[in-house]
Structure 1
């Protein structure tokens, strides 16, 4: 029997301090070679255990196997030079030193498939795997080869499709593409961004998701959010076209955000992963906080299409905080399930 309001996370969970620097985004690994492989698998097991103990329904690897949500994938591709770096503005918000595309990009071998097989072997629950979306990938690089954001995005879409098909074959139930860039480059999203995303999911039978958030709780993102005024209506620009797309699930940010909840009406018919956990604070939500967010969302999304989730990844948070937030998410969803069953 299918779970009503199945809970999941948007992506990352904190890494153990013996694997990477605690409470630090994109920290270098503390292990190497065979010890690193074993360490990542141990961390993945711990992350799964935290999700299981909290009662999360759709589990993930907590991104224990990737250092950065975009570049870890790109590191495995040919055509990108990590030694030759340029400073670019990421999503028009902050400067970062990024690798350079120096030739045709291609995927010589699978990137996360072995990790996904490992996770699949540990659980009977549905599993979700996150990949960077094409537009967010191009926004995290300096392109000295194609000299066209759109051309490079189409190349990445083909590569992502190869990886996604192998992840599906490894037993992944939901493949999620992280596209925070969708909240910034509206014209490009509508012109070709959604089309490249559909290329990335071509031929998949498993469910597909796109995660569009306002970013981790880091200063550059918080400053940007503070500049957006009393209402965040970015989703309004892209939801109509996403509603017509082949993507099954749309993941968005709702807890403590200024996103007007009625924007969800624009994606009526899609499954919606409603962010009911704020990842930019160490304060752990109460189950009732989560339930309130879900109640508001239920005005615009049918109960059988509502997936309670986190706003974004929780990698920068202390582990005990992330665990508390997972428990609150489950408990809040349980309150709403009870209310819905009482209503019959």
Structure 2
């Protein structure tokens, strides 16, 4: 048998691109030169994934400012003092705050996909930010002349267009990044905020056909930035039953970094929707140690003992550098971990086939 394996998204940027980004931010490098450095990084990312033997490719988010903020980069009507996301090591990330409507994306994920596909004939996956994350842009005290309902209507339409544009542009699959799902339970242990997030995301997902949703997945993790997380202490038992009510064809679940992966697998088995694919994380981007193919194989085989093998796939726990300035993991380490995932998944498939 074969077992599908896919990257999650971001890969650390090469030093040339990091330098170009800094020079551009300082006003010493033009837009065209930055775009050239980004395209070179995309080409290198894809070439290295091909050499590893990855059956599905990503652009590594080399051109995104972050996995979450690409739709609003460069937009007006934003103030810097939005929602703050605290991480376990004490550092924070802050979203901007919307100051006026109507809300529109400034960039669409299909542009990244189209740029990546120029460098390969292999399947390319495209990650997009879940609309629930962007809902945090709207301030709690509202916006004069632009009620929250109008914002949500605009957000749902924009998120649908973002996903549909990727499907139409030939994405192998489209992945909604939903890291705020687990975080929501830290902010609101009652689960009310999580239910709001899921309901909002389902407003978007329900606009697609069953065949289209088979190419749409949702990724959950406890965050991963500068080798720290924002919600790893939140019990999966509180998240997964609600998460699996999302109308998605596939789920990508962080697992390698969990203290008790067997318990998580049992929770997945109890709540996974019929027909949905389940990709389990078998490499931990936060752990500096590179997994061996044999370790990956054993993790896959453990998952196969608890989950339907015909619906099982593997992935990395999360992206390796979801924010462009995150250099906590080296580029070479990321590719080494991906290589271990690809080889270890093949070893597991061979063992299961035998």
TM superposition score normalised by structure 2: 0.82
1:189 and 1:142 map into 2 onto residues whose CA distance is 15
Aligned position for 1:208: 216
Task: Give CA-to-partner distance per residue, 1:190-215, whole Å, 9 cap, x none.
Answer: 53322221233322626111111011
Superposed counterparts of 1:244-255, under 5 Å: 244-255=245-256
Could you say which residue in structure 2 is the equivalent of 1:301? 307
Deviates more, 1:159-168 or 1:148-157: 148-157
Structure with more of its chain in strand, by fraction = 1
Q: Distance in 1 between matches of 2:14 and 2:227?
A: 23
Kindly indicate whether the alpha-carbon contact (under 8 Å) linking 2:83 and 2:97 is maintained by their aligned counterparts in 1. no
Deviation at 1:263, TM superposition (A): 1.4
Number of aligned positions between the proteins: 327
Aligned to 1:256: 257
What aligned pairs does 1:102-141 form with structure 2 within 5 A after superposition? 102-107=99-104, 110-139=107-136
SS class of match (2:81): strand
The 5 Å alignment of 1:1-80 reads 4-20=2-18, 31-75=29-73, 80=77
Give the root-mean-square deviation of aligned CA atoms: 3.0
- C-alpha deviation, 1:143, in angstroms: 5.5
Return the alpha-carbon distance in structure 2 between the equivalents of residues 28 and 286 of structure 1. 39
Would you say the 8 A contact 1:177–1:209 is kept in 2? yes
Q: Which residue of 1 aligns with 2:188?
A: none
Contact 1:77 1:106 in 2 (8 A): no
The change in CA–CA distance for 1:293 and 1:108 in structure 2 (over 3 A counts) is closer
**What does the per-residue CA deviation read over 1:31-70, in whole Å, with 9 as the maximum and x for residues that have no partner?**
5411122221111111111211111112111111201111
CA distance in 2 between counterparts of 1:143 and 1:159 reads: 21
Pair 1:333–1:195, CA change in 2 (3 A): same
| Displacement of 1:85 | 1.9
Contact 1:275 1:308 in 2 (8 A): yes
The 2-side partners of 1:136 and 1:108 are apart by 14
| Distance in 1 (alpha carbons) for counterparts of 2:283 and 2:150 | 36
For the residue of structure 2 that corresponds to 1:307, the secondary structure is strand
Instruction: Tell me the CA shift for residue 338 of structure 1.
Output: 0.6
Aligned to 2:235: 233
- For 2:257 and 2:107, locate their aligned partners in 1 and report how far apart those are by CA, in whole Å: 38
Q: Residue 318 of structure 2 corresponds to which residue in structure 1?
A: 312
Judging changes above 3 Å, is the alpha-carbon distance between structure 1 residues 91 and 162 closer, same or farther for their aligned structure 2 residues?
Answer: farther
| Cα separation, partners in 2 of 1:144 and 1:277, compared to 1, 3 Å | same
Q: Are 2:333 and 1:321 equivalent residues in the alignment?
A: yes
Matched-pair contact (CA < 8 Å) for 1:21–1:28: no
Aligned 8 A contact 1:77 1:105 in 2: no
How far residue 188 of structure 1 moved from its aligned partner, in angstroms, is 3.6
The unaligned stretches of length 5 or more in structure 2 are: 186-190, 322-326
Deviates more, 1:149-158 or 1:65-74: 149-158
Deviates more, 1:135-144 or 1:43-52: 135-144
TM-score, length of structure 1 as denominator length: 0.84
- Are 1:286 and 2:283 an aligned pair? no
Stretches of structure 1 lacking an aligned partner (at least 5 in a row): none
Secondary structure of the structure 2 residue equivalent to 1:10? coil
SS of 2:252 mapped into structure 1:
strand
Q: In the superposition, relative to structure 1, how do residues 184 and 96 fare at CA in structure 2: closer, same or farther (>3 Å)?
A: closer
Q: 1:28 to 1:292 in 2, by over 3 A?
A: farther
CA contact (8 A) 1:150 1:192 kept: no
* Segment of structure 1 superposing worse, 107-116 or 176-185: 107-116
CA separation of 1:75 and 1:327: change in aligned 2, threshold 3 A: same
How far is the alpha carbon of 1:220 from its aligned partner? 5.0
Of 312, 330, 338 in structure 1, the residue corresponding to residue 342 of structure 2 is 330
